[in-house]
Amino acid sequence: MTSSNAYLSGLFSLDGRVALVTGGSSGIGRAVAGALARAGASVVIVARREKELAETVAELTADGCRAAWVGGDLGSRDGVRAAAEDAAAVFGEPDILVNSAGINLRPPLGELGEDVWDATMAVNLEAPFLLGQRFGPRMAERGFGRIIHISSQQAHRAFVQSGAYGVSKGGLESLARSQAEAWSPYGVTCNTLVPGFVMTPLNARLSADPERVAALAARTMTGRNGLAEDFAGAAVFLASGASAYVTGQSIHVDGGLSVH
């Protein structure tokens, strides 16, 4: 190994680590799961759709990665708890937790019912809280942990009917700060990645409107909308030893959209 490769490996390698990625079968979650696995982590993906889960894991194992999947419904407390235990049984207790699973329901606020509110909060905010409660203290006991949440521009600004979705993501970023306060003294960092507009299945409604897609791209400084793979480097950084002094932060990966 050359000196540069050894240096980079020391900074960013995830060899020997175990990662749990919710929503890892599509979109940003899939890209993050792939990045962590290719950086050396043993990755367990939790999501609902078994076909997409199996395809994702097959792709990773074909690349020589150590990966597995667990089907789970994160829309209920019992579902979250069951998925957590099933995931921890595969490769052992995770050192890295990535909360990427989310639902994106956007009725006009005046028509937003309690059912949409409850479903949004359950998946987007309560599941990350419950998973943090399950794994965060154990990470702290071991002296190393990384919790990474995937948020949204709607946590910071209201547009395209942010509704309950924006509220859930604002809460998620606050959750990261609370987790950082609780566990960072024990080696557990907790941070949030904030995407711009990314062409993923979660944004299918907006993606179907070419004019809106072009307008969003024009709001960035790079002149394009995001791709799932844009999150690979940031995720590996936040999951690795390189980010030991970065915690409680919301890191925008958005082509400059948020500062334009």
By percentage, how much of the chain surpasses pLDDT 90? 86
pLDDT score for 206: 62
pLDDT score for 213: 86
pLDDT score for 1: 67
pLDDT score for 33: 98
Q: Annotated catalytic, 165?
A: yes
**DSSP one-letter string for the chain:** --HHHHHHHHHH--TT-EEEEETTTSHHHHHHHHHHHHTT-EEEEEES-HHHHHHHHHHHHHTT--EEEEE--TTSHHHHHHHHHHHHHHHSS-SEEEE---------GGG--HHHHHHHHIIIIIHHHHHHHHHHHHHHHHT-EEEEEE--GGGT---S--HHHHHHHHHHHHHHHHHHHHHGGGTEEEEEEEE-SB-SGGGHHHHT-HHHHHHHHHTSSSSS-B-GGGGHHHHHHHHSGGGTT--S-EEEESTTGGG-
pLDDT score for 207: 63
pLDDT less than 50: residues of the chain: none
